[in-house]
Amino acid sequence: MATAIVGWSHLPFGKHGDETVESMIVKVTNAALEDAGIAAEDVDEIVLGHFNGGFSAQDFTASLVLQANPDLRFKPATRVENACATGSAAVHQGVRAIEAGDASVVLVVGVEQMTTTPGPEIGKNLLKASYLAEEGDIPAGFAGVFGQIAESYFQKYGDQSDALAHIAAKNHKNGAANPLAQMRKDLGFDFCRNEGEKNPFVAGPLKRTDCSLVSDGAAALVLTDATIALGMKKAIAFRGMAHVQDFLPMSKRDILKFEGCSRAWGQALGDSGLALEDLSFVETHDCFTIAELIEYEAMGLTGEGDGARAILEGWTHPDGKLPVNPSGGLKAKGHPVGATGVSMHVLTAMQLAGEAGDIQVKNAELGGIFNMGGAAVANYVSILQAMK
């Protein structure tokens, strides 16, 4: 465990029309440094996760982090992007900088402002994370991509509408207790299961409650090497991590298997010397409820086509054998693309530090994170454990 998270910050996700990408970056940067007890002048490197893709007129945003404190001037700063896994790409780059010996303290920030963009453009921007040559004309944008995945899954394994509604209801109930979540309302199974004026079908069998939220938000964390971390007030170490990239066209893979996800979990667990059952909880990428369902299978919680069992039998509820998305997930917490992966690491660190409040998982010792870009194209897994 050579690298640890020693401080963090997280704005509540939602609609922040009074903020800008810059103002959110500045807020979480200063708060994370203060939480870690590390001065800006002691930061060796900065990594910013910012997808943008048309959401912000201001591009080339890495240097906006320097706006938080003049002592960050002249530090190396890089913006990274890997679709909806942009935040985890930033975190993993920071970890690699430390493990390569190039830095001892790295500041990682994730940010996105989506809600100020007109609705049709939001769909167009997100669809850029698909293979446009084959998938660019799919109706309903990225929801349409996952709507097709859901239809194919239903055709192969039967109607899973009950399972998807239970996943949505679980995550909304969890999110209701999370002060950082965009939607803090327990919608219940019946509302999520039934089509209606407030819950219409969006794409294929997916209804509005099956889709993650369009959000604004930012999160930040401070990474240090283990030597420094041992002297800090809190230290959440990386026990294992993996990044697996798959083909972009869905036509080149069996889209129902999420093979990149499965390989990433296998590599990270192997790296850590752990098994899935050793984990206390998982934060996984539920951009759509069908994604969480397939991810149960890809992580090895169930066999192929049997993911519904995990939710229907309560395995992934807060009191189940492997709680999944105790934060409310992307479904309730929100999904500001560039911030999502950093958020998942922050929420997991909070759990392991015993600072998760009303969403605290009892006796949390090991936390798993899966953050996905595109339709299981960019696959990042992190496994975290408290050092002390």
The residue from 84, 192, 211, 287 that is catalytic is 84
Q: Does the pLDDT at position 377 exceed 90?
A: yes
Catalytic residue among 172, 243, 335, 345: 335
User: Are residues 272 and 360 both part of a single domain?
Assistant: yes
Mean pLDDT to the nearest integer, 231-251 = 97
Claim to verify: residue 324 and residue 224 sit in the same structural domain:
no
User: Which of 201, 229, 257 is at the close of a domain?
Assistant: 229
Active site residue 84: yes
- Of 229, 260, 290, which residue is a domain's last? 229
pLDDT in tens, 324-374: 999 999 999 999 999 999 999 999 999 999 999 999 999 999 999 999 999
Domain presence at residue 203: no
Domain CATH for 293: 3.40.47.10
- Check pLDDT > 90 for residue 205: yes
Alpha-carbon torsion (349, 354, 357, 359), positive or negative: positive
Flag whether pLDDT at 152 surpasses 80: yes
Averaged pLDDT score across all residues of the chain: 97
C-alpha dist (Å) from residue 60 to 95, 143, 242, 345, 372: 22, 28, 27, 24, 23
Number of domains in the chain: 2
Handedness of CA 154, 158, 161, 164 (dihedral sign): negative
Exposure string of 35-44, with b = 16+ CB inside 10 Å and e = fewer, is bbebebeebb
Domain, as residue range, for 94: 3-117+214-229
Determine, yes or no, domain membership for 305.
yes
Beta carbons of 204 and 150 less than 8 angstroms apart: yes
Which residue, 315, 318, 317, is CA-closest to 300?
Answer: 315
Q: Is residue 170 part of a domain?
A: no
The number of helices, as runs of H, and strands, as runs of E, in the chain is: 13, 11
pTM for the whole structure? 0.98
Across the range 134-158, mean pLDDT stands at 95
In a domain, 178, yes or no: no
Mean pLDDT of 304-328: 98
What CA–CA distance (Å, rounded) separates 334 from 326?
13
